[in-house]
């Protein structure tokens, strides 16, 4: 397998550094049929790059699948749900794009509530009858207790059935989210085009203790871990295997706020987010009327509604098996980009360990978009696994940039940041002290800046590769005088 490499090639002593590669463009060509078509069409009509609508198409499909489709790679099973944090400047049309792409989910929720409304009065009458029957039970005999217990169980089920159906929630506190999980088969999508308020909730605005975050349910619902909550007034809420998909669009300053929160970073929440940094900028209005193609929108709506009907509404998850070549793609990536580099990336292992898992999650969504209701009868291919890794590579570069932007001190000079990174992460070699490019990025030094410095001051700095226990790692070498 060809490795996805975000670093520059080695530059030997007698070579001038090559021009630093540009950032990876969003690989829109990796999206299947309807998802690619709608992303391109919304990008055209809203004057956007494809990165924002493309990312939203992926997360919308993942939300439509819920926990109804999983990929089996023993000892793990992987669901489709992902967490997306998209950043875009104000005034770029991010809300319009969000609405265009996610509208089929809103329609699916409306259809579910229309069906629910047709039986609501009957269910309400059932609740009243059960209340009346419970009131008639008298005494403390075993027969009375057993009868009351049976009626209470039916009453709780009837009350739950009265609740409106929810697929999408926004601006929900953690207790409210848990209640919504309990009433909706433990599947939800937390989605907002204005994610600032959601971030405020995650930061613990409504928490019991100042400064505490409220991300516990999000962490558990990413992986499907059970959760139990007992509170005075609301009683006990038990979740067996919650499934949460998140799509938040925020301005860059809000993203920095999340990446600067130690609990979010060290606790693992930010490692679970795919970060989509959009290049969207306000565009001139030249008077052209741009209307989305109705056939493309209808196709996208049908695709999402079919995924909801086939998978999210299923009583048990369908299972995808992988072709051996696809398994090798995931295995090679894990071994070369995590295990072989572990000594170098240990301090950021929580992030790197998630990369192949994110690729597997995206693979489930890509596979479902390709095959629809036949997804569980088709094996996941090498091509799909490779497409998922290409998408993850784009998200990784944005995550790396967000971590760098949040962590480094912008008041320090380039040389000061390099010296600090070299002192903390550098390795002494025959030529001088070598600091991995990955570590420089964490200190706010871009690869382009490092290469430019080596070109401008060839007697003091050079770009090279130094073994780190696995694959040789691209480094900036602080040359010996």
Cis omega before residue 75 (within 30°)?
yes
What mean pLDDT, rounded, does the chain reach?
85
Average confidence (pLDDT) over 234-261: 87
**What is the C-alpha to C-alpha distance for residues 465 and 12, in angstroms, rounded to an integer?**
9
Answer whether residue 42 shows pLDDT above 90.
yes
**50 in Cβ contact with 29 (< 8 Å):** no
Classify residue 362 as exposed, middle or buried by CB count within 10 Å of its CB (0-12, 13-18, 19+): buried
More confident residue, 325 or 410: 325
Tell me the percentage of the chain whose pLDDT exceeds 90: 50
Q: Which has more confidence, 340 or 125?
A: 340
Q: Which tokens hold the place of 389?
A: 């890794």
Residue 306 pLDDT class (50, 70, 90 cuts): very high
Topology (CATH level 3) of domain 31-115+166-279+293-405: Rossmann fold (3.40.50)
The structural domains of the chain, with segments of one domain joined by +, span 31-115+166-279+293-405, 414-479
User: Would you say 443 and 418 are in contact if contact means Cβ atoms under 8 Å apart?
Assistant: yes
What is the rounded average pLDDT of the residues 114-134? 72
Q: Classify 406 as helix, strand or coil.
A: helix
Q: Which of 9-23, 30-44, 187-201, 421-435 has the highest mean pLDDT?
A: 30-44
Instruction: Give me the half-sphere count of Cα atoms (radius 13 Å) on the Cβ side of residue 448.
Output: 5
Q: If one looks up domain 414-479 in CATH, what number appears? A: 1.10.10
**Tokens read off for 445:** 């030094």
If you average pLDDT over residues 350-376, what whole number do you get? Answer: 96
Burial state string for 284-302 with b = 16 or more CB within 10 A and e = fewer than 16:
eeeeeeeeeeeebbebbbe
pLDDT band at 343 (very low <50, low <70, confident <90, very high): confident
Average pLDDT over residues 296-320: 97
Q: Which helix (H) or strand (E) holds 42?
A: helix 33-46
- Please give the span between the terminal C-alpha atoms of the chain, in angstroms, as a whole number: 41
Predicted local confidence at residue 410, as pLDDT? 54
Q: pLDDT at position 11, please?
A: 36
**Distance of alpha carbon 79 from alpha carbon 243, whole angstroms:** 9
222 vs 3: CA distance, rounded Å: 27
Q: State the average pLDDT over residues 44-54.
A: 95
Ramachandran bin of 469, using left for φ above 0, alpha for ψ from -120 to 50, beta for the remaining angles: left
pLDDT at 211 over 70: no
Which pTM does this prediction carry? 0.77
DSSP element (H, E) containing 305: helix 294-307
Q: Is the pLDDT of residue 151 over 60?
A: yes
Residue from 372, 229, 360 nearest 299 by CA = 372
CA 253, CA 400: separation in Å to the nearest integer?
16
**How do 427-428 and 273-277 pair as beta strands?**
unpaired
Domains 31-115+166-279+293-405 and 414-479 share a fold: no
Question: Which range (154-163, 390-399, 400-409, 458-467) has the least confidence?
Answer: 154-163
Helix (H) or strand (E) holding 190: strand 187-192
Question: CA 24, CA 394: separation in Å to the nearest integer?
Answer: 6
CB contact at 8 A, 216 and 225: no
Which among 470, 414, 461 is positioned nearest to 435, based on CA atoms? 461
| Range among 19-28, 209-218, 415-424 with highest mean pLDDT value | 415-424
Residue 397 in contact with residue 51, Cβ under 8 Å?
A: no
């Amino acid at each position: 397998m060809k490795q996805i490499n975000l670093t520059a090639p080695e530059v030997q002593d007698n070579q001038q550094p090559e021009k630093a590669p540009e950032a990876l463009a969003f690989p829109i060509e990796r999206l299947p049929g309807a998802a690619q078509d709608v992303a391109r069409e919304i990008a055209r009509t809203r004057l956007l790059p494809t990165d924002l609508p493309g990312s939203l198409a992926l997360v919308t499909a993942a939300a439509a699948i819920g926990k109804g489709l999983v990929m089996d790679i023993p000892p793990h099973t992987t669901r489709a749900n992902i967490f997306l944090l998209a950043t875009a400047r104000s005034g770029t049309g991010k809300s319009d794009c969000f609405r265009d792409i996610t509208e089929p989910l809103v329609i699916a929720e409306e259809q579910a509530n229309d069906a629910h409304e047709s039986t609501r009065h009957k269910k309400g009458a059932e609740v009243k009858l059960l209340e009346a029957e419970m009131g008639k039970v008298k005494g403390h005999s075993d027969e009375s207790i057993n009868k009351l217990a049976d009626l209470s169980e039916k009453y709780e089920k009837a009350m739950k059935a009265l609740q409106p159906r929810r697929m999408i929630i926004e601006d929900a506190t953690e207790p409210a989210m848990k209640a919504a999980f309990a009433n909706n088969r433990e599947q939800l999508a937390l989605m907002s085009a204005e994610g600032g308020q959601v971030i405020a909730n995650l930061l613990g605005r409504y928490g019991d203790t100042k400064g505490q975050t409220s991300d516990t349910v999000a962490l558990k619902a990413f992986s499907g871990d059970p959760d139990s909550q007992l509170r005075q007034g609301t009683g006990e809420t038990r979740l067996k295997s919650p499934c949460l998909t998140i799509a938040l669009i925020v301005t860059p300053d809000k993203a920095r706020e999340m990446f600067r929160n130690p609990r979010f970073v060290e606790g693992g929440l930010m490692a679970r987010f795919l970060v989509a940094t959009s290049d969207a900028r306000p565009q001139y209005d030249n008077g052209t009327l741009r209307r989305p193609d109705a056939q493309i929108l209808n196709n996208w709506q049908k695709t999402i509604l079919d995924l909801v009907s086939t998978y999210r509404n299923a009583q048990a998850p369908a299972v995808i098996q992988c072709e051996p070549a696809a398994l090798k793609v995931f295995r090679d990536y894990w071994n070369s980009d995590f295990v072989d580099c572990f000594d170098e990336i240990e301090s950021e292992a929580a992030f790197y360990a998630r990369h192949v898992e994110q690729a597997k999650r995206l693979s489930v969504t890509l596979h479902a978009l390709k095959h629809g209701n036949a997804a569980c009868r088709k094996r996941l291919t090498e091509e799909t696994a490779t497409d998922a890794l290409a998408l993850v590579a784009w998200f990784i570069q944005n995550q790396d940039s967000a971590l760098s932007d949040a962590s480094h001190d912008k008041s320090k000079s380039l040389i000061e940041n390099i010296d600090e990174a070299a002192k903390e992460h550098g390795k002494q070699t025959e030529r001088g002290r070598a600091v991995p490019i990955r570590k420089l990025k964490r200190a706010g030094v871009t690869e382009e800046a490092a290469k430019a410095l080596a070109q401008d001051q060839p007697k003091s700095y050079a770009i090279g590769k130094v073994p780190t226990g696995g694959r040789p790692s691209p480094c900036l070498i602080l040359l010996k005088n």
